[in-house]
Structure 1
Amino acid sequence: MRIAMISPIGERVPPDGYGGTERIVSWLTEGLVARGHQVTLYASADSQTAAQLKGWPAEPLRGRAAANTHIAWEMAHLLRAEIDLNAFDVVHCHLGVEAAALTRSWRVPTLHTMHGGIFPHHVPLLLGLPDLTWVAISDSQRRPAPDANFAATIHHGLPMDSYPWGRDKDDYVVHLGRIAPEKGTHLAIDAACQAGVPLVIAAKVDPVDQAYFDAEIAPRLTHPHVHFIGEVGDAVKAALLRKARALLFPICWDEPFGIVLVEAMACGTPVIAYPRGSVPEIVLDGVTGILVNGVAEMAAAIPRADRLEAVACRAHVEERFSVRRMVRQYERIFADVASVALSA
């Protein structure tokens, strides 16, 4: 198939550090190319891909206020002529709900993947655009708008070769991703300190979360058990996960899909997490992780997690969260969307 892949432009594809959506776009794009599809990737010009790259803009808009809805609308508008001029079989758009309305004028069948949470202001947009076709990244993500036009739920998948696993662990737990109130970074620190276990925090701080960092995180970094190393690249992240006793994930919102949960389990490392959002869909409680409520339970779960088998964590991801499975599922949806358009 001839597929147009439209990425957000907050980060390059793949991202150098944090950037879950752009990472998924990269894995899916490369997987489709490997399967013989002709893929054109619309992303920032510094992106790296085996697909044909149409770079816009010249560099990602990381950390700037402009990397949001306004730019997504502008990108969708500017791409209209480009999309219509090319003989694509299907377009796969990752720009989000607000920009999706502009794609209705495209003359190519288009599939939208919802990467963020569905908030109250999104529901009338989704229900008011019943002709747009969506893919959810978890069943929990769909709950606020069960009547929206979701064709399927497709969980994210990892390239397993990029995540070597191991049984031998060092004496630390880890918290990865982005430092923000909804990520519960302060709770991870409190749990590790209460358990008397070293905690490595490898995460970025966005400008919007600087006040939270200054008020809640910086004072806690004085504890001798807490080691903040900032944002890291993929290789360092995989190494940290592989040697950690557990990943701490005290999520404070209904996150639609936590990629780091799957990354940890792929490395043979169990997850200790609050059971919110997609977490119960991803983590097998008592097998690949432990679901807890509150700091005290999280602290108490750390020694219990040592008894979980690394091989079980790895096998769970290989079976349910591989990039190979994700690509196959999207291929089926692409074919369905294209065939419906042809028969219309």
Structure 2
Amino acid sequence: MRIAYVAAPWLPVPPPAYGGSEVVIDRLARGVKQAGHEVMLFTTGDSSCPVDRRWTRPDAVPDLIGEVGVELAHVIGAYAAVRDWGADIVHDHTLSGPAYARTVTTMPVVTTNHGPFTEDLTVIYRDAAKSAAIVAISHAATAGNIPVTRIIHHGVDPTQYPMGEGQGGFYLFLGRMCADKGVREAALIALAAGVRLLIAAKMRAPSERAYFETQVKPLLTNKVQFIGEVAGPAKAELLGAAAALLNPICWPEPFGLVMIEALACGTPVLTYPLGSAPEIVDHNKTGFLCQNEAQMVARLGEVSQLDRRTCRRAAQERFSQQRMVDEHLSLYAELLTRAAHRAADVERAVIAEPHRRIMATDFGTSIPPVGRLTSPPNGVGR
């Protein structure tokens, strides 16, 4: 297959430090290429993902995130490149791309919602579903009135996250400096338990700096320390040395990449049963799903009883990059088969009625769900 990926222009692929969808796109594009398929990635010129890359904008524009004009100009360039490259299928990770694609191409389009289906996003993806296959990243990140085609959890390459022994003598918060991620709550929990906590967090936006100054900095002590943003091998080393990942999220997170990265390092996760967390953390085996701060304080003393090899195995078996790649390739193949059948139906209709004008409405252009959505496995918080 010839598969084109379209990333948003906000960050390079992969991102130099903290990133979400860009990390996933990089892992997916690399994995699909390694599986023997031809891959083209439309991104920004400062990207380094080792596949065939195209771009119109030389540098990513993180300060312009959400600017409709910026994204649309990027998308127009993307679909021109996709057409010239001769893709069989396009996997679009932008918001405006699927709607624009409907006007310029008939090839199968896949789009992933990397966030929750908010009121506005529900409108966007309901419209996109008329002509594109919708991928959700967890059972928690779905909307009842949107025909989600597949639920595909993110994956991690375990070889990039070596297993650690938790020998560092600290607990770890890793993420973004904001209220949703629960940084303040993590500090309060560590202080109440009297344990050492390292806070490794992205703090670049003005809102993130303001949150740190007012909510987190006053709580810092010789035991609760802010060490800045970490990435790459340093992040994996930090995760492996931590006794546990302290992840008291305060919102229904669609998917927590940091949780599967921690598990890949053999590190248990303490979190709340919100969003996708119950789909990732197996209560009492790979971590604890706590109901409140007091319960999380109590559970901190029990993480040493959890088997780090079980955590590692969960990442390898349930959240591997290979599994993520295989599930996407299965979806692409099925959509291409459907497209071929539709084309054959049109050809047969033309032969049968050569004088009749064949309309697109005769066969439909929507992409119905592929298979049934399964319920999340039984467990705490589900």
Q: TM-score, normalised by structure 2?
A: 0.85
Alignment-derived partner of residue 31 in structure 1: 31
Q: Quote the offset at 1:169 in angstroms.
A: 2.2
Moved more, 9-18 or 269-278: 9-18
> Partner of 1:9: helix, strand, or coil?
coil
Alignment-derived partner of residue 264 in structure 1: 262
Alignment-derived partner of residue 198 in structure 2: 200
> What amino acid is the match of 2:228?
G
Alignment-derived partner of residue 253 in structure 1: 251
> What amino acid is the match of 2:341?
S
Q: Does residue 110 of structure 1 match 2:109?
A: yes
> Partner of 1:182: helix, strand, or coil?
coil
Counting only pairs closer than 5 Å after superposition, residues 220-231 of structure 1 correspond to structure 2 as 220-221=219-220, 223-231=221-229
> Partner of 1:16: helix, strand, or coil?
coil
Alignment-derived partner of residue 80 in structure 1: 79
Unaligned runs of 5+ in 1: none
How well do the aligned residues superpose, as a CA RMSD in angstroms?
Answer: 1.5
> Partner of 1:183: helix, strand, or coil?
coil
Counting only pairs closer than 5 Å after superposition, residues 84-233 of structure 1 correspond to structure 2 as 84-96=83-95, 98-107=96-105, 108-129=107-128, 130-142=130-142, 145-205=143-203, 206-221=205-220, 223-233=221-231
Alignment-derived partner of residue 44 in structure 2: 44
Question: Which whole-Å CA distance do the structure 1 matches of 2:153 and 2:197 have between them?
Answer: 29
Question: Which whole-Å CA distance do the structure 2 matches of 1:25 and 1:35 have between them?
Answer: 15
Alignment-derived partner of residue 348 in structure 2: none
Does the CA contact (< 8 Å) of 2:54 and 2:81 recur in 1?
no
Structure with higher Rg: it is 2
Q: After superposition, what is the alpha-carbon deviation per residue over 1:161-206, rounded to whole angstroms, capped at 9, x for unaligned?
A: 0000033422110001111111110000000111111111111112
Does the CA contact (< 8 Å) of 1:33 and 1:50 recur in 2?
no
Q: Does residue 71 of structure 1 match 2:70?
A: yes
Does the CA contact (< 8 Å) of 1:179 and 1:203 recur in 2?
yes
Counterpart among 240, 243, 264 of residue 241 in structure 2: 243
Question: Which whole-Å CA distance do the structure 1 matches of 2:67 and 2:193 have between them?
Answer: 39
Alignment-derived partner of residue 329 in structure 2: 331
Change (3 A) 1:306 1:56: farther
Share of identical aligned residues, percent? 35
Question: Which whole-Å CA distance do the structure 1 matches of 2:127 and 2:20 have between them?
Answer: 28
Moved more, 130-139 or 240-249: 130-139
Question: Which whole-Å CA distance do the structure 1 matches of 2:41 and 2:252 have between them?
Answer: 30
Does the CA contact (< 8 Å) of 1:28 and 1:327 recur in 2?
yes
Q: Quote the offset at 1:219 in angstroms.
A: 1.4
Question: Which whole-Å CA distance do the structure 1 matches of 2:65 and 2:150 have between them?
Answer: 31
Q: Quote the offset at 1:134 in angstroms.
A: 0.7
> What amino acid is the match of 1:51?
V
Q: Quote the offset at 1:109 in angstroms.
A: 1.3
Question: Which whole-Å CA distance do the structure 1 matches of 2:44 and 2:297 have between them?
Answer: 42
Change (3 A) 1:53 1:118: same
Question: Which whole-Å CA distance do the structure 2 matches of 1:69 and 1:251 have between them?
Answer: 29
Question: Which whole-Å CA distance do the structure 2 matches of 1:131 and 1:192 have between them?
Answer: 49
Q: Quote the offset at 1:118 in angstroms.
A: 1.0
> What amino acid is the match of 1:125?
I
Structure 1: 4+ residue segments shifted above 6 A: none
> What amino acid is the match of 2:77?
L
Does the CA contact (< 8 Å) of 1:166 and 1:267 recur in 2?
yes
Change (3 A) 1:61 1:340: same
Q: Quote the offset at 1:67 in angstroms.
A: 5.4
> Partner of 1:209: helix, strand, or coil?
helix
Q: Quote the offset at 1:126 in angstroms.
A: 2.5
Question: Which whole-Å CA distance do the structure 2 matches of 1:294 and 1:70 have between them?
Answer: 43
> Partner of 1:111: helix, strand, or coil?
strand
Change (3 A) 1:2 1:182: same
Question: Which whole-Å CA distance do the structure 2 matches of 1:306 and 1:61 have between them?
Answer: 43
Does the CA contact (< 8 Å) of 1:80 and 1:105 recur in 2?
no
Q: Does residue 16 of structure 1 match 2:16?
A: yes
How many residue pairs were aligned? 339
Q: TM-score, normalised by structure 1?
A: 0.94
Change (3 A) 1:204 1:172: same
Q: Quote the offset at 1:51 in angstroms.
A: 1.3
Does the CA contact (< 8 Å) of 1:7 and 1:41 recur in 2?
yes
Moved more, 80-89 or 187-196: 80-89
